[in-house]
Amino acid sequence: MEEMARILLVDDEDDILEFLGYNLRKAGFDVQTARNGREGHQVACQWKPHLVILDIMMPEVDGIEACQLIRLTPEIADTLVVFLTARGEDYSQIAGFDAGADDYIKKPVKPNVLISRIKALLRRVSTPESSQEIIQARDFIIDKERYVVIKDSQQIALSKKEFELLVFLTSRPGKVFSRDDIFANVWGSDVVVGDRTIDVHIRKLREKIGVENIKTYKGIGYSYV
């Protein structure tokens, strides 16, 4: 299953939010919205979108400032940024690229144009490392090829299930995965095993990689911290 790209749409006009949001979702993107630059930056920090669409003209914190904010926040500094510019805002092109934009699109926006530009941008970034065999988590290196995890330059041997479980949990650090999520992705939808099975694997994993790395949310699920 391929993860769909997350796109954060930041504009102060509801019409545009709705219109573009609808079309982007229809194109298969996971869309989140915000109404000004500050909100946008906050959500971006939290949600880690692959791409942010910023209207230039916005109250409070405008698009260019928002872009600068993003570039100054290490965790999300390399997020793709696309500017939306009103007709005639010529300066925006220059200022936008100065601020670190990856593309800019003139209003009125045609959905299919927007979408193809976005896809092009995403493609450009995602191609080189599509066969991600080595994953870097906070203080691990996860080597899918060798089924090995390295922590503090120490190799940790994991069994298959333990390894897959870790890979899954680290796929989105912080996200809380329900037991169902875990079953569906680590075991497969057709397999039926008891609830305790996950507990036991979680326990073994914790034993090997350190308890503090996996957090329990009672009644909800587990997350990799």
Partner DNA sequence: AGCAAGGTTAATTATTTCTTAATCGCTTAT
Partner DNA sequence: ATAAGCGATTAAGAAATAATTAACCTTGCT
Those residues whose C-beta lies under 8 Å from the C-beta of residue 102, and which sit 6 or more positions away, are 80, 81, 82, 121
- 87 contact, one of a copy of itself, DNA, none, CB 5-8 Å limit per kind: none
- 141 contact, one of a copy of itself, DNA, none, CB 5-8 Å limit per kind: a copy of itself
Scanning residues 139 to 168, which ones bind DNA (CB under 7 A)? 157, 159-162
Query: In whole angstroms, how close is the CB of 107 to a copy of itself at the nearest point?
Result: 16
Cβ atoms 44, 63 nearer than 8 A: no
- 193 contact, one of DNA, a copy of itself, none, CB 5-8 Å limit per kind: DNA
The three-point CA angle 107-108-113 to 5° equals 90
Q: Which of 58, 69, 202, 209 binds DNA (CB under 7 A)?
A: 202
Query: In whole angstroms, how close is the CB of 174 to a copy of itself at the nearest point?
Result: 5
Neighbours of 39 (CB within 10 A): 18
Radius of gyration in angstroms for the set of CA atoms belonging to the chain, rounded to a whole number: 20
> Buried b / exposed e across 166-204, counting CB within 10 Å, b at 16+?
bbbbbeeeeeebeeeebbbbbbeeeeeeeeeebeebbee
126 binds DNA (CB under 7 A): no
Residues making contact with a copy of itself (CB under 8 A): 25-26, 30-32, 34-35, 39, 42-43, 46-47, 93-94, 97, 102-103, 111-112, 124, 131-134, 136, 141, 143, 145-148, 150, 159-160, 172, 174-176, 217-220, 223
